[in-house]
């Protein structure tokens, strides 16, 4: 979670995967009616707000983390994006928004942290009739051509004796379950759609569903990405004097994967195909 101590907003922005155009096309195609006011919940470093800003008259981007809001403001040109306003705020308290004012509410890689006992009533008041909510997220990366390394990645990230106990719950499990437990109240929301993908390890596109997020990365880049995980920061805070768990993980993966091992000391330059389990949840206000 972005608000944890020791969190580095710059590292997060540098190593996190970006959303492909298909994500934005999917939610914009789903949306109906006016596009005057967009609310981006858990905006992080502002990527989604910038991508969607041409499609809305005004964009309000919020995040509970002050460091994220600072990062987003500093990297968003006021000349290029004059319609974006950043504000430190939580999804559970939208008192600064007028009732029925919002045409669309989005949340990328944030919705699994929300308290829905508070969020659904807030959205029910603030979103206009026929307006859209669109939440999307991605879970673990899979090395689609390397099942052995993928199994080791899963063990080190989720094993009981590794980083498994250090994830914030239930948020992480909600994400791993691809938002199946996030259910828009049927009394207020309709036309619910889910676009999901579960990667496989038999090559590119070998998973189930609609592939959205993929990237060819150097192992060194994957290494940097894993160090943005909240579980890693939590593990490190408690086990600071021990050997680094990400180092141990990669040592074993390189040893077990012949092609990676063959790269020798330059293993960090070895490129691998990654795919992420992902979901887009969309609903329309009645």
Report the predicted TM-score, pTM, of the whole model to 2 decimal places. 0.91
Task: Look at residue 35 and tell me if it is in a domain.
Answer: yes
Task: Look at residue 1 and tell me if it is in a domain.
Answer: no
Report residue 248 as tokens: 């141990």
Q: What is the pLDDT of residue 86?
A: 98
In order, the DSSP letters of 19-30 are: PPHHHHHHHHHH
Burial of 95 per CB tally in 10 Å (0-12, 13-18, 19+): exposed
Containing domain of residue 52, as a range? Answer: 9-285
Cα 55 to Cα 209: distance, rounded to the nearest angstrom: 28
Q: Residue 94 is part of a domain; what is its CATH number?
A: 3.40.50.150
Q: What is the pLDDT of residue 13?
A: 56
Task: Look at residue 156 and tell me if it is in a domain.
Answer: yes
Task: Look at residue 210 and tell me if it is in a domain.
Answer: yes
Task: Look at residue 4 and tell me if it is in a domain.
Answer: no
Number of H helices, E strands in the chain: 11, 9
Task: Look at residue 177 and tell me if it is in a domain.
Answer: yes
Q: What is the pLDDT of residue 4?
A: 45
Report residue 223 as tokens: 């290494």
- For the chain, the domain total comes to 1
Q: What is the pLDDT of residue 14?
A: 65
Q: What is the pLDDT of residue 52?
A: 98
Q: Is residue 178 a contact partner of residue 196, using CB atoms and an 8 Å limit? A: yes
Task: Look at residue 218 and tell me if it is in a domain.
Answer: yes
CA 6 to the chain's CA centroid: 19
Of 195, 181, 154, 221, the closest CA to residue 278 belongs to 195
Task: Look at residue 16 and tell me if it is in a domain.
Answer: yes
- φ/ψ (deg, to 5) at 251: -60, -45
Cα 59 to Cα 70: distance, rounded to the nearest angstrom: 17
The one-digit pLDDT tens for each residue of the chain (286 residues) are: 444 444 455 555 566 778 999 999 999 999 999 999 999 999 999 999 999 999 999 999 999 999 999 999 999 999 999 999 999 999 999 999 999 999 999 999 999 999 999 999 999 999 999 999 999 999 989 999 999 999 999 999 999 999 999 999 999 999 999 999 999 999 999 999 999 999 999 999 999 999 999 999 999 999 999 999 999 999 999 997 778 999 999 999 999 999 999 999 999 999 999 999 999 999 999 9
- Give the Å distances, CA to CA, from 98 to 128, 130, 223: 10, 16, 44
């Amino acid at each position: 979670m972005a608000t944890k101590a020791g969190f580095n907003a710059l590292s997060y922005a540098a190593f996190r995967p970006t959303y492909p155009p298909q994500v934005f096309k999917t939610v914009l195609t789903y949306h109906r009616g006016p596009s005057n006011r967009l609310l981006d919940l858990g905006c992080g470093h502002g990527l989604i707000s910038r991508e969607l800003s041409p499609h809305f008259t005004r964009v309000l981007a919020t995040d509970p983390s002050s460091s994220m809001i600072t990062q987003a403001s500093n990297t968003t040109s006021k000349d290029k994006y004059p319609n974006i306003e950043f504000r430190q705020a939580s999804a559970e308290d939208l008192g600064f928004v007028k009732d029925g004012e919002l045409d669309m509410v989005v949340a990328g890689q944030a919705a699994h942290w929300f308290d829905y006992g508070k969020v659904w009533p807030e959205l029910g008041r603030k979103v206009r009739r026929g307006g859209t909510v669109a939440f999307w997220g991605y879970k673990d990366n899979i090395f689609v051509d390397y099942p052995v390394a993928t199994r080791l990645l899963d063990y080190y990230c989720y094993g009981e004796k590794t980083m498994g106990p250090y994830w914030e719950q239930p948020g992480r499990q909600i994400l791993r379950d691809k938002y199946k437990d996030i259910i828009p109240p049927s009394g207020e929301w309709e036309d619910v759609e889910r676009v999901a993908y579960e990667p496989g390890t038999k090559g590119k596109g070998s998973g189930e569903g609609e592939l959205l997020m993929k990237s060819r990365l150097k192992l060194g880049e994957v290494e940097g990405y894993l160090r943005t995980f909240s579980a890693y920061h939590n593990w490190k805070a408690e086990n600071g004097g021990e050997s680094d768990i990400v180092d141990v993980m990669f040592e074993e993966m390189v040893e077990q994967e012949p092609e990676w091992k063959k790269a020798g000391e330059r293993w960090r330059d070895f490129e691998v195909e990654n795919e992420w389990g992902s979901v887009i949840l969309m609903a329309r206000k009645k």
